Amino acid sequence: MKVHEKIRFLRNQKGWSQEKMAEKLSMTTQGYAKVERGETDYQSNAENYLAKLAKIADILGVNLEELIMNGDKAIYLVGGNDNNWGDNVVIGSPVELAFEVQKQQLIIELKDKELALQQREIENLKEIIALLKNQGAVKC
């Protein structure tokens, strides 16, 4: 069941109208109806979307994780600069997320090693230049 379907299902279980949910969320009925239809664009503003889902979960009496779990899949925020979350939303199982984190850690480790090698090469070239200057082979 998708998030918006769960929201509708849980609201119906409580016997509440869309108008009542919208009122509890301090939003318009039309805006709330979009949430239930799955028309909310979380990619463009994931941080606000998850904040809204947290509020919805609280009102419906479930925790956010229960609400966003889709079978064994969930929505995760990964990093983000200056509230720009659009490209940092990962949907997957906890195992898939753990694999992605491990993969990113290995990439970072590899980049750190490449950077260290480049720094050593720069130091070696500086030493060669200094030796050549001392021998008078290079004039600067």
Q: In this predicted model, what pLDDT tens digit does every residue of 56-112 receive, in sequence order?
A: 999 999 888 778 776 555 555 555 555 544 455 555 666 667 777 788 889 999 999
**117 phi and psi, to 5 degrees?**
-65, -40
Both 14 and 67 in one domain: the answer is yes
Both 68 and 106 in one domain: the answer is no
- Using DSSP's 3-state secondary structure scheme, residue 52 falls into helix
Both 35 and 55 in one domain: the answer is yes
Both 56 and 122 in one domain: the answer is no
**Count of domains forming the chain:** 2
Both 70 and 98 in one domain: the answer is no
Both 110 and 73 in one domain: the answer is no
Alpha-carbon distance of 116 to 123, in angstroms, equals: 11
Domain holding 107, by residue range, is: 93-140
- Whether 69 and 62 have beta carbons less than 8 Å apart is answered as no
Average of pLDDT values for 25-30?
92
Both 99 and 80 in one domain: the answer is no
pTM reported for the whole predicted model: 0.51
What sign for the dihedral angle of Cα 79, 81, 83, 88?
A: negative
**How distant, in Å, are the alpha carbons of 47, 91, 107, 128, 133 from that of 104?**
22, 16, 5, 36, 43
**How distant, in Å, are the alpha carbons of 51, 74, 135 from that of 94?**
21, 8, 62
Both 60 and 120 in one domain: the answer is no
